[in-house]
Structures are given as C-alpha cells and as structure tokens.
Structure 1
Amino acid sequence: MSEPIRLPVLFLTDPVVLPGMVVPVQLDEAARAAIDAAGISSDAPSGGGKLLVAPRLDDRYASYGVIASVVQMGRLATGEPAAVIKAEQRAHIGHGVSGPGAALWVEADVVAESEADARTTDLAREYKQLVVAMLQRRDAWQVIDSVNKLVEPGAIADTAGYASYLTDVQKRELLETPDVGERLTMLIDWTKSHLAEVEVNDKISSDVRDGMEKTQKEFLLRQQLAAIRKELGEDEPDGADDYRGRVEAADLPEKVREAAMREVGKLERSSDQSPESGYIRTWLDTVLDLPWNVATTDETDIVAARAILDADHHGLDDVKDRIVEFLAVRARRAERGLQLVGGRGSGAVMVLAGPPGVGKTSLGESVARALGRKFVRVALGGVRDEAEIRGHRRTYVGALPGRIVRAIGEAGSMNPVVLLDEIDKVGSDYRGDPSAALLEVLDPAQNHTFRDHYLDLDLDLSDVVFLATANVIEQIPPALLDRMELVPIDGYTEDDKVAIARNYLLPRQLNRAAVNSDEVDVTDGALRKIAADYTREPGVRQFERLLAKALRKAATKLATESGPLHVDEAGLVDYLGRPRFTPDVHERTEVPGVATGLAVTGLGGDVLFIEAASTEGKPELVLTGQLGDVMKESAQIALSYVRSHAADFGVDPDALERSIHVHVPAGAVPKDGPSAGVTMVTALVSMATGRPVRSDVGMTGEVTLNGRVLPIGGVKQKLLAAQRAGLTTVFIPARNEPDLDDVPAEVLSALDVRPMTDVADILALALEEPADLLEKVS
C-alpha cells in the first residue's frame, strides 16, 4: 500500500460521488475553502492540487471518499459560483491533520482496484446488459454507446453513480465497498428489482389506457342513446341543454353569441367526467354574467353635478372644472348624436396625481355620483403579473379573467367609472409587464376592441370612464402617462385643512365616536394648531386620525364627567399629547454651513436641510445621506462653482482645498432629484465664509457650472412646504415664475417669493451680513 496523502476534504450532501463521475459543485464557503486549500485557486500544497470528496452523513463520519480534481470553474445558471470536479480514485479516510487555509485536512489511503477475474468479468457483462436494457426503454442511445465502450469491471460498476433509481444510502454502500465483485453483485440485485417494478408500472399504465378507451366508447354509446331518445321524444334536458337555452335567451352581441354557442357544442360533445367540461362551464358562466348590453343613463345637469362635487370635496377647483367640462362636452355630443373615432365614448382618461391624503380616491366616487354611473375601484398597487390585467389563458388550471373584466362584471354595466388606484406602483417581472397591458385599456383608439385572454372576445371599453391615481408621476411609464391627461392635486393650505376638518372630517368623526357637537366643541384655533404643530402633511389623512383620537378621549371623559367638553388650543395637550412638530429652522441654520432647501417626495413637498463642513486632509468631496446620482452630481457642480468663484465671494481658495463633507440628514430616506444645486452652493459658501444662512430663507433650483439657476418642478408643493415650515422668503428659478399662477393666494401673501437667474444673487440675499454677525456676538 502506498504512503497516506494529506488532502483537504469537501463534504457533499448530494450527490454521492463515485470514481469516474463528473459533477458540478456549488461553491459555498466550505467548498471554496476546500478548493482554495487544494491549490485550485492558490499555490498547491502537499496534496498536489487534489481534494477529497466525501458524502456527508447524519450519524457518523464517512470512512470512504474519492480523490478528485477540479476540471472547470464558473457559475451556475442562477449566477452562483460553482466548480466542476472529476472523481478519480477511491480513498479510505484516516485521521484529521492540520493544513493551510480554512479547510479540514485528513490523511487518506488510496484504494487500488482489484484485478478482474473470470467471475468479475461475467458479473460486469451481466450488469452492463441490465443497464443497456433500462436505457433502451428510455431511448437514451448516446448513453448506451458510452456504456458499451466501457471494459473495466470497476468502471462499469461505478456508472451506478448516475443511476436515478438508486438511493443515496445505496450509493454510499457502493462507495464503501472496495471489492468490484461485491459491488457488481449488489447492483445486479438492485437493478433487477427496479426493472420488475418498472414492468409492473407499465402494466398498470396499459390497463389505465385500456380503461380510458372503454370510457370513450361508453361516451359514444351514450351520445347515440341520447340521440335515439330524442327521436323517440323521450329526451330529458341536461346541463348542456340548459346552457344552450341560457345562451339563446341572453341578450348578447352577435359575435359573443356565436362564440358561446360553439362552446356549448363542445360541452355537449364532452363527457361529464372530462376536465374540459368544467372549464367550458366556468367560461360560459363568466360570459353570461357580463352586462354586454346594459348601460346606465348619464346625468346631463351640469349645475347639479358641480353641486355634488362641491358637497363632497373642499377646494380642488381645477379638478372639478375639468370634470364639469367633461360632462358638458359629453352632453352636447349626445344631443347632436356625435361619436368619437374608434368608439362611442369620450376618450378622456384622467390621472389624479398627488401626495397621499388629498382625496384622489374619494374624488373618483364623486365623479361617479355626478355622472349617475356605477363606481368600481381596481387596486393596482403591487400588481406584477400581466395576467392580472389581460386575464389568464384558459389552458391554465384556475384561469380567471383580468381585473378589468371582473370590474365590469362587478359594476353590472358597460359604462361604469373605473378607478385605477395606485397606477404608479405597478411593477413588472418575469410574468410580464402589467403597465404595457394597460396601454390598450387606456388608449381610446384601441380599447373599443379590448381582448381579454380568458374571454378571447372583443370587449368594448370605449364608454368606460377611466380615472387613475398616482403619488409619484415619475414612476409611471412614459408610454402609459402619454395616454392619460394629468390632473395634479398638490395639497392643501392650512386654511383649507381647517375648512375641510370643520365641514367634512369633524362631523364624520363625531358620528363614529357616537358624540354630537353639543357634547364636544372643537374650536377653529384647535384645528389650526393640529394642522400646524401636530401634522406636516399635504393631505388630511393624519389630521383625521388625530381628530378621531381626540374625540375618543372626549367620549371616555364623558363617561365619567358631565359635558359639554370644550377642546381649544390650550387643551389639545390633554387629548393629543405634546406637539410633534416645532419650528426648528432657526436652530438648524444658526451655524455656518447649513442651508434650507425645498424638495418633493412621494408624500408631497418637504423642507430639506443641507449641511457642509471641512476638515484637514487631502482635497476630496465626501457625500452622505443616501443621495442618488443626480444629487451627487449637483454636489460636484456646486463645489466646482464655489472653487472657481472663490474670490468673488471673499473665500480663500486654500480653504476649499481640504476634505469637504456634504451631508443631507435623514440618511435612512433615499433622496434624489434636480433641485438641490443652489442649496448646496449656499451651504458651501456659508461654510467657507463663516456667514450663516438666514433662518427665514428657503430655496430651490438646479445650478450650472456658470452659476445659472435652472428650472425645476413641483413649485406649488414646495411653497406649501415652505409655508408649513414657517419660512418667509423663498428663492425659485426665474423660469418657474409662471408656475406661481397655480399657487393659492394665501400662500403667496405669506411668502416673499423671489425668482432668480444667478446663484450669486441668491448668495447676496441669503447669507447674513458680517455686521449682523457682530451685532449677534455683542
């Protein structure tokens, strides 16, 4: 026997590797350590570039393994790293030894194959015949050729490592049996048993086929018997005849009726035991339940429609005007008998875009009331399967029509108001892109022939009024947004929130708390304080939650105290606790290097603080705060601009040749967008000059390397956020001055909005003067 060799060990749970096998191995931490130790990825140790592969046992250590080498390194189809190893010789595992790397090292003795005698050769020939017989049943002729080329009995026996009918326990037993004759004897017994089992299964399958042929014969005879009974006048209606009568009695379009009658014919020809009959019945039920020729009559009273919208929602004049315009045009077209090309509907698809809590979803219900139509909501948030829109094909088990068809059936008419809620949160994956399917739904030139995969019939959606809601317009695919009319809802002012609370939220919450206005009185001052100090939101959702909380506490007090209760500004702490928001702009900006910017998020406008500091070290720019690529570029541009114009701002150029750190607090919140450039320039100049930024100043706009202030979006939302934060002066790009027409007058009266074209002008007005600093110090 040769001297033992030291090898790193790789334990595998599956498969059991026998000599001659070539198998892929996923490289987890242990596998990579073993391969590295063997010298595949580093210098070869005493093992000579080999490793020992052994099965992993539950109750004991394996006593045998195989010496293997790595043929190839690469990745699996899933992208995970892997290696292909080739097993070469059996080895008996000795005791553990020390070795380099993180792998386990052992001593192993190579097990030499015994010389073949006449008995072993006969056993090998018999086992080869059994293997070839099994492979012939599977038509695996290429594998048969490979097996026939094998001559050595040991190599023939070790082909059992690829046998799928052998268990891991049996393969480990083969690995631990050095004698070739014993291995062949065991394999012959196991293979004969498996062949006998296969023959039994084949007989069972043959019997099942014969039974199916008998069933088909019986079905044919039953059909002939039914025809004979019908001729004799003894016909009894069954399920198929019932469907035929339902289709004939239903009010269906002609093409739909023809398709339904074809399916009824298939149902009559199929057996009740056939799975297809169940699919056909479900399809026919779906078709018969749809309101193909049912439609509601639209209201044409424009004044009444506007009154409904005003009663349901405060403000939102732009949205209400657009809806009333839609009604007016529709009424005139109906009077004159005009139709749109491609359908009889209006073609209007509006997307209500704005932050949460501003009333987008409830506005859809008001539109349906104003039109006198049925209303149905389709939630699209998180939808990633295209079949959710177009439906599943009937070839799949459990197939259903898409959400659009189900919404039409739920509404009970062909012209409902369908609200596509959260359209910006539609996703896509390997199951398709639902937003692409929505293109056909929302395109007025196509949706009069919308085809659901499940129905496989043309469905006219041209008379459906589609409304969509979204929080972030940028997340809507451009092609989909192009088919919709954008109606922005930017948020409410403080006065709007107080009016909404007084007229809508407070009466609703009084009713839910089972109290009335005589028992609990909430002052306007308390409502205004809730809007200013307890909530910082563009909508009123959190506002309503706080009202509900205050009224619940009031109802609890009424159980032990006599009323009425008076909830005023001073007593809010007893009902809601301390205010959650306090003005902190002055505190944040009283030190140099901090500027107040304005941004738009998925929750509306918000105040954004940008901090800058410098430390000794090599000149570099450090950015923190989970900034996106656009804001990172803005910071680079801002620093380059300040360095190139340092003399203009009275900054020592050497003061900027240090490590500059720009930070945007709230690092857990991702931030990106082209509107922070001027704020970053202001923060950097403030840091370099030691002059703090005025605490009453906010700003927004992108900057170029020449200092030009570029236009941005979301001006209205940003100005609303500035008013909520207590700012008095706001700098905006000059090219955004026309956007001020959309800003409420009360916001413009509370803010000094200054359009600017050069960032240097902003710096001259935003930074405190040195004289003011000396006055503060003294």
Structure 2
Amino acid sequence: MTSTLNLPVLFLTDPVVLPGMVVPIELDEPAQAAIDAARASSNGQVLVAPRLDDRYAAYGVIATIEQVGRMRGGTPAAVLKAEQRAKIGHGVTGPGAALWVETEPVDTAKADGRTTELAADYKKLVVAVLQRREAWQIIDAVNKLSDPSAIADTAGYAPYLTDEQKRELLETPDVAERLTTLIEWTKTHIAEAEVTEKISDDVREGMEKSQREFLLRQQLAAIRKELGEGEPDGADDYRTRVEQADLPDAVREAAMREVGRLERSSDQSPESGWIRTWLDTVLELPWTERTADSTDVKAARAVLDADHHGLDEVKDRMVEYLAVRSRRAQRGLEVVGGRGSGAVMVLVGPPGVGKTSLGESVARALDRKFVRVALGGVRDEAEIRGHRRTYVGALPGRIVRAIKEAGSMNPVVLLDEIDKVGADYRGDPAAALLEVLDPAQNHTFRDHYLDLDLDLSDVLFIATANVIDTIPQALLDRMELITVDGYTEDDKVAIARDFLVPRQLERAALTADEVTLTDDALREIAANYTREAGVRQMERLVAKALRKAATRLAQEGEQVVVIDKAGLKDFLGRPRFTPESHERTAVPGVSTGLAVTGMGGDVLFIEANAADGKSGLTLTGQLGDVMKESAQIALTYVRSHLEELGIEASVLDRSIHVHVPAGAVPKDGPSAGVTMVTALTSLALGRPVRSDVGMTGEVTLNGRVLPIGGVKQKLLAAQRAGLTTVFLPKRNEPDLDDVPAEVLAAVEVKLVSDVADILSAAIEPVRETATAAA
C-alpha cells in the first residue's frame, strides 16, 4: 500500500501541470508561502493542483523545486518539475503560512500489451502533429519515450487541448483510458487541421498579388464550400424569415428569388446590401394584417360629433361608408382587398376649419389605424412611387411607408395639402397619385422600390386642400369632392365654447372656476376681432385673453376673472375689423363684390372713376387675365346699353380707371363681372350703390349672369361683413341647399339671370340721392 505524504499545496489557475512537465511559476503571496514551506521541509516537495471554480481538485502532481529566482521584470518565480500524480486528501496542519494537505501518490501500473499499443498509436499521432509544425527536436524527444504513462502526460504541452481537457487527463490515473481519450482528441485536431490546411491551399491557389486584400473573404468562401453550405452569414436567416412570414404567394415567390440571389452573392458585393434592405422592407409590410371596422354606426357618429362641431356633410359621408361596409359584412359580401372597396375623398376648404384633424377623428370612428402623409412642397415623383432600388439611398415611396407605419392594409391615410404638390424636372408627383387614388386601379399599385403589386383598395384615403384650382383635373376626377366652406358666427361661438376655451384653459393651467369667457365676448371676438373662415386666429385670441387672465391672477391676487364683451378691450385691445361697406360705397362708382380665396370667402370692393382725357380703360390692382376680360366686358355692356340705363354717351367717352384695392394681392376669376358692371353704371349715373348689397356672378356681353362657385363661402363672407342683401346667379339656386339656415335668415338672397335686375335694385334711386345731396 502506498504511504501518504503531507505536502504544502500550490493551486494554479494556469497552466495545468501534468507529470513530467517542467514549468516556471510566478510567485504571488500564497504561492511564495507554499514554496517556502516546501524548501523548509526535508523532502523539498510541493503539491501542484489546478484551481477550480466549482469544486476542489481531486488530483494534483508532486513537484520538486528546481530553481527559485526572478523573472526578467523582477517578479519572484520558481521552476518546478512535476514527478508523480497524487490523490488529494483532507487538509492537515503544517509549518508556515502555506496550506498543507494529505496526499496519496498514485503508482503507475505496469505496461501491458494494450497499453503499449495505445501508446504507440498516440505517439504516431503526436509525431504527425509535430511534423506539421516542423518541431524536429521535440519529435526526437518524444521518440525516446517508452513509458506509456509518460507518453500520455506529454499532452500537458499540447496547445490544441483546453485546460478543461488537461484537468480531465490529470484526474484520469488509468493509463489506457487516458491514451484512448487522447487518441480521440488528437484525431479530431488533426482532421480540423487538415481541413484548415486544405482551405488555406484552395485560397492560396486562386489568389493573385492584387487580390491579397480579399484574403478574409476568400477564406470564408472556402469554408462555406468545404462545409457544403455555400451561404453567407444571414442568408439562411432571411430564408427562414420568408418561409415563416405570412405573405401572399406572389410576394413570397419574389422574396424567395431575392433570397436565392443573396445566397449567391458575396458579402462585399453592393448588391448584397440592396437585397437585404429590400427583404427587410418586404418583411416589415403588413401584407395580410387588417383591422376590423367598427360596426356601430351610432357610436361612430357620436365620436365625430364629439370631436368636431358642424361639418355635417363629411360626417354623413363617413357614416354612410361605415353603414354600407357593415351591411356587406352582415350579408357575407365583404371582399377584403376587393377592387374599389376603399374610398377616396378630398376635403376642400380654407385653413382652420378642421380638415386635418377630421382625418384622425374618422380613424377613431372607424376603429382604424391613422397615418398622415404631408404632401406640401413635394416635387419629386419618387416621393410617391419610390426610387429604383439600384440607386444609392433608395427608399420606398411615402404611400408604402405609410402602410408600413400603420401596420395594417386598411388604415385611414390623410394626404395633407394635396393642392400644394409641385412639379419639376424630377417628375410630377400629382400624376403619380393618379394610380394611388383611383379605386379601380389601386388594388395593383406598384411602387418602384418594391416592384410588387400592393393592394390599396381597402385604404380610406382622405385628401385635404385649400383650393381646387391647383389640383389637376384628372386627379380631382378620381376623388369624391367634399367642400368644407367655413363656419358661421354661431358655429364659431359654439366651437370656442366647447373646444377652444377648454383646451386653452388646460394649456394655461387654469380652471373654469378661475376664468370665465362669456358667450357675448366670444361672439365679439368672432365678429370684430377676426375675419376668417376657420377658427385658428380665434383660438390665438382666446389663448391671449387667458394668458392675460392668468397674469392678473398671479400679480393682482384676484380670485376670479370674468372676460365679458365690455372688458374684452382690456385683454385684446381694440377690434381690428369693423363694417366698412357703408363708408366705401358712399360715393358713386364703388360696388361690393364677393370672392373666394385660399383663406375662404371675402368681400371685394371694386372702384371705378373717370377723368378727362383720351377715351380708354385702365386696370389696376394686380388683376389676372380673366378679371381684365371681365372689366372689358363690363365696359362694353354699359356702353351698349346707354339708353336702357339712362346714361349719356359722353359720360363714358373719357379715361375710365377701374381699381380693385389691396393691390399687393393677386386677384383673378370670372365672378367679378356683375360687380364691375354695377361699379361702372354707378359711376356713369352718379348714384352710389347701396351699402348693404353684395353681388357675385359672371356676366356676358349681353348681360346674362352665369353661375359661379363658392356660394357658401361667399355668403358666409357677406354675413361677416354685415351685408343684408346678396345677388346670386339664378343657376346657383341649388347651391343654397348647402348654406346654413342662420346665414339665409341673416342675408336676403336674390337670384337674377340678367345684370339689369341687379342694376335696378342695387343702385340708389334718384330721389334718395337728391335728398342726401340736399
């Protein structure tokens, strides 16, 4: 039986020491204590064991101290020679600061035939490895070994074995088992080395001097070839993603073709980046995702009414759309993505009437996703259709990006400011929108970047515009036109009370108990502080009044602030707008017309005057060609009807000057014809036009009054300006159905078909003029 030894123990993290090895060891404080204790003992031996994280080592090696000194850097060190395995027992007491343990040396079994054969096989494998490294001196040393255990323990020097493998060898006292394990490990290493060498040879054979910078790429390609995969990193991931994604068959087929191209291309090829970006875009699109529409028509109308006051035409259209969808679904007629199942509407109206915010309310009412696409200033066709993906920085168009952002194929997409789309050498975005907004075509919309059919037929497109004049007729023909003409004074007061004031109170950190804005004050703001179709300026004034109220509460210590009509001047100053029609039309030659601008309806004064000189017509006020022609027609009509109008021929044989004030503002349109005739007739007769009368209409040379557009906006403007009578063309009578009842009650509308009817009623009678002169 082998006797036990009490030895100081030296734990090492690295290296793992096997019998027969000679290793230098840097000496830290515990190691120095172990070396000192060993040198002080009679046998001069120390037990070297690996340091383990999860347990204490079961085996170590008994080593003798060959030399003690210092490294080149001055660090204390010792050279140890490992001699024999030993099994570690329990700890014992010993001299010095070292840790002592009881060890039991492990005797090496005598070699038998099988052990000798295994040792010979392993020696051949070791020699083969060393020959690859051309380590001839080490080969000679290995060939001189004959003890199977010593041959196996030479594995402690093997750089291709890990520390865990070497610890396993240390804890395997059976020589045959140790050699069997080493033979398996070494064969695996030699096989890996042969593959690596073959890869290096393949790369070296096909590489020229000018291609040395591509060494890494060639090695990767050779590795893939050897493994039989032929795939760059990530290509298999794209194949898996495409196979698992819920894609239409045509899209899946196209995506798999691109995955195949990606697999055949190298990582360094620019095409690889394009394909990856394209695949990412395709996989992110919600090809089969759709949200379920709300089927509660009453609830949808309640949402629209809660968010916006008025706008009944738009609300009715949304409710109709939802009601039809609901009935089709109930009867099993709903075809998801069917041709023409979506809707395309354009809301046209002045700024500030709620067109943009209405889109979000519609999405909430329908329980759909909402995406806003701003088109103002877009001049590049690629913004709509996308770029060809071979271009640097290519992206899909805004429509595709909107669908991706929404995460469903049936969102509400708001195309904001569609009337402000431009065109230049990069194409015409408005023309690109023709396919997007055509319900009969957009089920196969093809983006240049995707180059796939994208079904937009279930998308609810809502476009907004201030004017329709700049929208191409072909594009306008594909959309359902809904006019949002503006608000009456009562509407503005209701909007301010229900929406604007609560919102501005919250922004100013006020409560309704602290500040009260009366309805009379709101009406005064709407009537005399603003002249707009919408409510943006009104909201700014409300915010200004509430800010000043908050200042009073903070500085003057008031508990409650009431803003009424009488005190409104202290908060907003004097009114900016006052009725001026009476003042402007007090002299002959001035008539009041009605016009529509991008900001809504407005009152337009036309002035005519005559001076001695050569007969002719002068026009000023930045008039467009159509208004210039209207002035020529008006003068010709008056001159051709002198007798009927009671005008002397010599009156108009002078230099006639027609001016439309606000000369810095461009003006054009046909609806000023009757106004110009009235102004010239008033000048020729020397009698003023009634101050409470406004008019609009296109006139012919024979005096026929032709229909015009924007009736509702013009009547709203007339009410704001304080006019009580408005002359409209007879053929515009159906447009009165869209005018609010309160406007028709405040303004008397007279329908005429001949301009002579306007002249007889709008120009002051002779007796009133004479009385006024007296």
TM-score between both structures, scaled by the size of structure 2: 0.71
Cα offset, 1:761, TM superposition: 1.5
Q: Comparing 768-777 with 693-702, which one deviates more in the overlay?
A: 768-777
8 Å CA contact 2:588–2:687 kept in 1: the answer is yes
Determine the C-alpha separation between the residues in 1 that align with 2:511 and 2:522.
17
Aligned ranges 1:168-317 → 2 under 5 Å: 219=217, 222-230=220-228, 238-317=233-312
Q: Equivalences for 1:680-759 in 2 at 5 Å?
A: 680-759=676-755
Q: Supply the AA of the counterpart residue of 1:585.
A: S
Does residue 520 (structure 1) correspond to residue 515 (structure 2)? The answer is yes
Q: Is the 8 A contact 1:296 1:413 kept in 2?
A: yes
Q: Structure 2: how far apart are the matches of 1:211 and 1:412? A: 52
Q: For 1:652, which of 638, 648, 651 is the aligned residue?
A: 648
Q: Which sits farther off after the overlay, 555-564 or 597-606?
A: 555-564
C-alpha contact 1:596 1:697 (8 A) present in aligned 2: yes
What's the C-alpha RMSD, in Å, of the aligned pairs?
Answer: 1.9
Pairs within 5 Å for 1:525-540: 525-540=520-535
Specify the code of the residue in structure 2 equivalent to 1:696: D
1:481 shift after superposition = 0.8
Question: For residues 379-778 of structure 1, what are the structure 2 equivalents within 5 Å?
Answer: 379-560=374-555, 561-778=557-774
Structure 2 match to 1:114 = none
Report the AA paired with residue 478 of structure 1. Q
- Offset at residue 276 of structure 1 (A): 2.1
Identical-residue share of aligned pairs (%): 77
Distance (Å, rounded) in 1 between the aligned partners of 2:474 and 2:263: 45
Query: Offset of 1:278 from its aligned partner?
Result: 1.8
What letter is aligned with 1:591? V
Alpha-carbon distance change, 664 to 564 in structure 1, aligned in 2, over 3 angstroms: same
Counterpart residue type for residue 669 of structure 1: V
Other structure's SS at 1:591 match: coil
Q: State the Cα distance separating 1:607 from its structure 2 match.
A: 0.2
Shift of 1:429: 0.9
Equivalenced residue count is 567
Deviation at 1:243, TM superposition (A): 2.0
Report deviation, 1:650: 2.0
Residue identity in the other structure for 1:229: L
**Superposition pairs of residues 279-358 of structure 1, within 5 angstroms:** 279-339=274-334, 343=338, 346-358=341-353
Q: In the alignment, what sits opposite 1:178? A: none
Equivalent residue letter for 1:717: Q
SS of alignment partner, residue 490 of structure 1: coil
Q: Deviations over 1:45-101 (max 9, x none)?
A: xxxxxxxxxxxxxxxxxxxxxxxxxxxxxxxxxxxxxxxxxxxxxxxxxxxxxxxxx
Structure 1: distance between partners of 2:333 and 2:428? 36
Divergent runs of 4+, >4 A: 209-221, 339-342
Shift of 1:334: 1.4
Q: By how many angstroms is 1:246 displaced?
A: 2.0
The 2-side partners of 1:685 and 1:547 are apart by 44
**Cα distance between partner residues in 1 of 2:232 and 2:587:** 90
In the alignment, is the contact (CA less than 8 A) between 2:589 and 2:609 conserved in 1?
yes
Q: Is the contact made by 1:342 and 1:444 (CA closer than 8 Å) also made in structure 2?
A: no
How far apart are residue 249 of structure 1 and its match? 2.2
Secondary structure of 1:242's counterpart equals helix
**Structure 2: unaligned runs, 5 residues or longer:** 1-206
Q: Calculate the TM-score normalised by the size of structure 1.
A: 0.71
Q: CA deviation at 1:240?
A: 2.2
Offset at residue 330 of structure 1 (A): 0.6
Alpha carbons of structure 1 residues 342 and 286: separation in structure 2 relative to 1, 3 Å:
closer
Asked if the contact 1:342–1:446 (Cα under 8 Å) also holds between the matched residues in 2, the reply is no
Q: 1:732·1:754 contact (CA, 8 Å) conserved in 2?
A: yes
Q: What secondary structure does 1:467 align onto?
A: strand
Look at both structures and tell me which one has the larger radius of gyration over its CA atoms: 2
Distance 1:226 1:756, change over 3 A: same
Pairwise CA distance, 1:244: 2.1
Structure 1 stretch displaced more, 603-612 or 441-450: 441-450
Matched residue type, 2:425: Y
Following superposition, the deviation at residue 438 of structure 1 comes to 0.7
Deviation, structure 1 residue 564 = 0.4
Deviation string 1:686-724 (CA, Å, 9 cap, x unpaired) is 111110111111001111111111111111111110000
1:646-688 per-residue CA deviation (whole Å, 9 max, x = no partner) reads: 1222211111111110000111111111101110011001111
Name the aligned partner's letter for residue 572 of structure 1: L
In 1, the alpha carbon distance for the partners of 2:406 and 2:369 equals 6
Q: Structure 1 pair 213/616, CA: closer, same or farther in 2 (3 Å)?
A: farther
Among 350, 370, 378, the alignment partner of 1:375 is 370
Gaps of 5+ in 1: 1-208
Per-residue deviation, 1:344: 5.5
Q: CA deviation at 1:316?
A: 1.3
* In 2: Cα distance, 1:302 partner to 1:211 partner: 76
1:265 Cα offset (Å)? 2.2
| Counterpart residue identity of residue 670, structure 1 | P
Cα distance in 1 for partners of 2:429, 2:312 equals 32
- Superposed displacement of residue 331, structure 1: 0.8
Contact 2:355 2:464 in 1 (8 A): yes
